[in-house]
Amino acid sequence: MEKINVFLNIKNNMVIEIADILTERHTTELQIDSIDDFYDQTKQYKVEDDLNIEDFLKELFDDEKNSTDSLSEYKIKHWVSNRSFGELIDMYENDEIIVPNMQRSFVWDSIKCSRLIESIILGLPIPPLFLLEISDNKYELIDGFQRLTTLSNFVSGRQWNYNETKQTKIVPAKLSKKVATEIAGSTFNNLHEDFQTKIKRSTIPLIEFKQLDPINFDSKYLIFERINTGSVKLNAMQIRKSLSYGKFIEELYSNIENMEQINKVFSPTNIKNDNHIEAILRVKCFYSYYYDQNFIPKAKGIKNILNEYCEINKDSNINEDFFKNLKNAINILADTFYNGELFKRIEIIEGKEPSFVGNLNVSILESLTSAVMYHLAQSQEIDKEKLREKYIEEMTKVSLRGLHDKINPFSISTGSLESINARFLIAKKIVAGSLINDI
């Protein structure tokens, strides 16, 4: 595989910035061919907590393509219009503009809310809203939730962070003391009539779009990812939570967040970034593909396959047996491998015993956990000692092949169906070779 250049800003032995374009801030250049290769070359450094290197590296490699192999794959129509805030509030209140249930929690503070209202009264331009047309006179809000919610709650006489499912008492929001004296501390009803009219009749640009082909809503992931104007950059899993929220996502999050076994496997930073949720989504998705054979991906790349799977199963429940077998599988694997070995690659150094190296490898987690779950579902027992021995044996072969042929389905081109099939076959062979035979 072709190597990619990345540039690091390292201070006090800590990576504080990574990019694929060299600037004067960068002090170190690396050539890497996979995420694991990056970690191998930087194991002497610490990484700043807020630097989500994993997501950046995923974007660089072909298994995490943002969109498509061909510009002709999508046909998207968009147009720009202006609507008054009063009309938008009316549409929002009447569910003509809908927001995915968990698109965003309300995160603005009272000062930011107040300054939005003040900006409208002053006549300052407001960033546009992005709306996906899902049917006649029905739109899904892709970007602009904080702005539209702030306006709607203020004009309707509700508190800034009003949530009808959690709050029964309605308290009109008041503008902060940090805005102009003429409006500071006012509710909407207390504002001068001229200011009320200005808020309702002022207009904002709308960028509306509709996906004409293929007949699905894939483009909303592309658009949300690229125009997201929130104060916090969302990663792929958090975008799925926003745009595909339903029974499936709700059950996935609620079960995993309370699963002690999973929380022990992942670092606090990974948990903060929902990487543990995405890892288990991969188990669910690719188990359905490889073992149940009831899901055939049409999309390409792991990110897009997971988006597709979440859309298809948006309103589906997850069988309780899945989480039961998942817990049991993680427990077995945690008891099988010694401290610091779980879901790690095997490294071969001439003259030395094979060793476990690197960070947690999600491709190993997804395939090995699925294989254990599959055999548990068949009521088959696993010899943990044999499992560890078989793992070292088979993953040593993977490592040697990677050294010679540069082929490793756990590290390179992991989003291709060829790689998914290859690693699931290897994981199945590992577990099948460690079963306790009935006497």
User: Residue 161 corresponds to which tokens in the numbers above?
Assistant: 């962070």
Confidence of residue 107 (pLDDT cuts 50, 70, 90): confident
**Each residue's pLDDT tens digit, 120-175:** 999 999 989 988 888 888 888 888 888 999 999 999 999 998 877 776 788 899 99
DSSP single-letter state for residue 225:
H
Nearest to 334 by CA among 285, 420, 275, 266: 266
**Each residue's pLDDT tens digit, 277-326:** 999 999 999 999 999 999 999 888 898 899 999 999 999 999 999 999 99
Contact 173, 159 (CB under 8 A): yes
* pLDDT given for residue 65 in this prediction: 47
Span of 37-46, 54-63, 260-269, 386-395 with lowest mean pLDDT? 54-63
Which is higher by pLDDT, 110 or 401? 110
**Partners of 4 in the beta sheet?**
32
Q: Is it true that the peptide bond before 128 is cis, omega within 30 degrees of 0? A: no
* Sole residue written with tokens 């061909």: 70
Confidence of residue 69 (pLDDT cuts 50, 70, 90): low
| Rounded distance between C-alpha atoms, residue 187 and residue 159, angstroms | 10
Give 139-160 as a DSSP string.
Answer: EEEEE-HHHHHHHHHHHTT--T
Nearest to 291 by CA among 187, 206, 415, 377: 377
* pLDDT given for residue 83 in this prediction: 92
Contact 86, 200 (CB under 8 A): yes
**Each residue's pLDDT tens digit, 424-435:** 999 999 999 999
pLDDT at 76 over 90: no
**Percentage of the chain lying above the pLDDT 70 cut:** 90
* pLDDT given for residue 153 in this prediction: 94
* Sole residue written with tokens 């306790």: 436
* pLDDT given for residue 255 in this prediction: 93
pLDDT at 67 over 50: no
Which is higher by pLDDT, 373 or 217? 373
User: Residue 417 corresponds to which tokens in the numbers above?
Assistant: 């169906």
**Each residue's pLDDT tens digit, 169-208:** 888 999 999 999 999 999 999 999 999 999 999 999 998 8
Q: At what angle do helices 85-93 and 193-201 cross, to 10 degrees?
A: 70
pLDDT at 101 over 70: no
Q: Would you list the domain boundaries of the chain?
A: 1-60, 75-213, 232-439
Distance between first and last Cα of the chain: 47
CA-based R_g, the chain, Å? 25
* pLDDT given for residue 344 in this prediction: 92
Buried/exposed code over 95-131 (b: 16+ C-beta within 10 A; e: otherwise)? eebbbbebbbebebebebbbbbbbebbeeeebebbbb
Question: Residues 6 or more apart from 352 whose CB is under 8 A from it?
Answer: none
DSSP single-letter state for residue 215:
S
| Rounded distance between C-alpha atoms, residue 144 and residue 287, angstroms | 36
* pLDDT given for residue 419 in this prediction: 92
User: Residue 383 corresponds to which tokens in the numbers above?
Assistant: 């010899």
* pLDDT given for residue 66 in this prediction: 44
Cβ count near 439 (within 10 Å): 3
* Sole residue written with tokens 């720009």: 80
Contact 427, 391 (CB under 8 A): no
| Rounded distance between C-alpha atoms, residue 302 and residue 308, angstroms | 10
What pTM was computed for the model? 0.74
Contact 30, 6 (CB under 8 A): yes
pLDDT at 72 over 70: no
| Rounded distance between C-alpha atoms, residue 279 and residue 185, angstroms | 47
Nearest to 56 by CA among 102, 29, 18: 18
Mean pLDDT of the residues in the chain: 86
pLDDT at 343 over 90: yes
Contact 181, 54 (CB under 8 A): no
**Each residue's pLDDT tens digit, 232-267:** 567 889 888 877 888 999 999 999 988 888 888 888
Question: Residues 6 or more apart from 160 whose CB is under 8 A from it?
Answer: 106, 108, 110, 113, 150, 153, 154, 173
* pLDDT given for residue 49 in this prediction: 67
**Each residue's pLDDT tens digit, 9-47:** 999 998 888 988 999 999 999 998 888 888 888 888 888
* pLDDT given for residue 1 in this prediction: 60
Coil, helix or strand for 65?
A: coil
Question: Residues 6 or more apart from 355 whose CB is under 8 A from it?
Answer: 346, 347, 349
**What size, in residues, is the chain?**
439
